[in-house]
Structure 1
């Protein structure tokens, strides 16, 4: 069974766990010109062993048959599974997901995020329900991935984080894959209180930051729960092996990474009231020192307890801080 990354600072609530056992999942599918891939993903919803789910689809301006496919699926599953199709804001995949979560009519309860081109394993929702139950009322769950080619032939897999998830990691790295990510009802309520932050580059990274920053639980399931299709059009591709680790280390030294960190920190500052006292202090320690070359910035990272999952990429991060890149 999956275990929380650390004892949550938000106390466990027996009634919340009881409600979780009875709750229906809302699957949020972010869609954009997905007609080539949707059939497999939609079929995997129907194959779930946990059948208590409904579906919201936020279509971000598709010009193909995506919307027609969703309407046909709604008719196919009938009254057993409510299907809601909404129009996305047309501002990219991250805002598409976050705006759906913050839609004024979005239902309370646990939420499972879904990409359009993957295939869920039959036990995904059941494992997520169990995993959420091991954390506190505010919990984010993620599972592992089997990478496949475009024809769904296996070509690799992901692995659990080497170091415990937490806010010090979330500030500079995401370890909760968006296509396996599930929010507890309390985590969804947190997201809705904060609203849609401006310009955050990745919705899953932001959700990891927000939940861990608020003292919630981060549960990483050691089981593979999703087939992650690699077809050359993915927003984010898979990263495997030493070469990928080296590539990530070089990415940390690049300009885009520093821009992502700055945008995320600005969003966290706007949501500071939702963070724990300790994490507010860590954020302030990091932001008190300007982004400019020198050891002061690197020391600020150390005081805030910032780390990535490997020694190489953590070293690259601290070098980037000393160079004034982050």
Structure 2
């Protein structure tokens, strides 16, 4: 778990972790310099459960993505499986058990990453909807242009953790969950998207990243697209992938190269090249948006 000034909802999230059906867990909390009562709440939780059950660390102070990657790469945190946790959600009692049911079926030497749909709740914990139910193919060609997996749902095996460590902390990644999706699929690992939600994803004004659903969110994405945000994010992702391309499969290195080459062309070569590169988004409208973005150099 990574925390930063999370006093408002932290106790409820800690309680939901304590009440998991699967109890053989250790919680590592990396605090990124909280100035409210976050540390006091966490230390009280640690006092109740013990120092072996709850461990406190100091984050790098560079934002949520760097905090998660720093914690993931921390040498003292070693286990068979790892789950990322936000400070303000609520885990269903079967959250860990559902993830481990799939992960335990995967070969231990192959990176495997689990994620799921989420139930959205407001500040008071009232249900407000569900995140998108993706049904398309998942893989590196999708991950290059779309992050389908929320980090607060992600659970992964030790092979995936070693892969993330091999890639380094990459302090300038866009988001830790997008990076994990790209890296695991790019290296030939396994990815699973559970359409049954096992987490209550709290939406409030202080979310680092909220759930991108609904008409309003779609309009915001379109606006940001024309401001070049997606293109800048992809630039960052490609720079990070170039630094560790030796970890990718040969096929995915070729996909990355075709995508990079297409992005550098002028119309109509850019549009044709991106189409032929094999990259895609999960929905028809998403792919239409990708085409539009290619036309206007927004991807």
Q: Could you say which TM-score interval applies, normalised by the shorter chain? A: over 0.9
1:13-59 CA deviation, whole Å, 9 max, x = no partner?
A: xxxxxxxxxxxxxxxx0100011111000000111000010011110
Q: What residue in structure 2 maps to residue 60 of structure 1?
A: 32
SS at 2:151 equivalent? coil
The one of 51, 58, 74 equivalent to 2:23 is 51
1:111 equivalenced with 2:82 (yes/no): yes
Whole-Å separation in 1 of the counterparts to 2:148 and 2:270: 24
Mapped contact 1:293–1:321 kept (Cα < 8 A): no
1:179 equivalenced with 2:152 (yes/no): yes
Consecutive unaligned residues of structure 2, counting only runs of 5 or more, are none
SS at 1:190 equivalent? helix
Figure out how many residues of one structure are paired with residues of the other and give that number: 297
Whole-Å separation in 2 of the counterparts to 1:207 and 1:100: 14
1:98 equivalenced with 2:69 (yes/no): yes
For normalisation by structure 1, the TM-score amounts to: 0.87
1:119-176 CA deviation, whole Å, 9 max, x = no partner?
A: 0000000001012134443111011111111010101112321311111110011111
Q: What residue in structure 2 maps to residue 207 of structure 1?
A: 180
**How much does 1:293 deviate?**
4.0
Task: Report the aligned-residue RMSD.
Answer: 1.6
The one of 267, 276, 286 equivalent to 2:259 is 286
The one of 4, 13, 31 equivalent to 1:41 is 13
**How much does 1:291 deviate?**
3.5
Mapped contact 2:5–2:36 kept (Cα < 8 A): yes
Consecutive unaligned residues of structure 1, counting only runs of 5 or more, are 1-28
For normalisation by structure 2, the TM-score amounts to: 0.94
Mapped contact 2:111–2:158 kept (Cα < 8 A): yes
Mapped contact 2:262–2:271 kept (Cα < 8 A): no
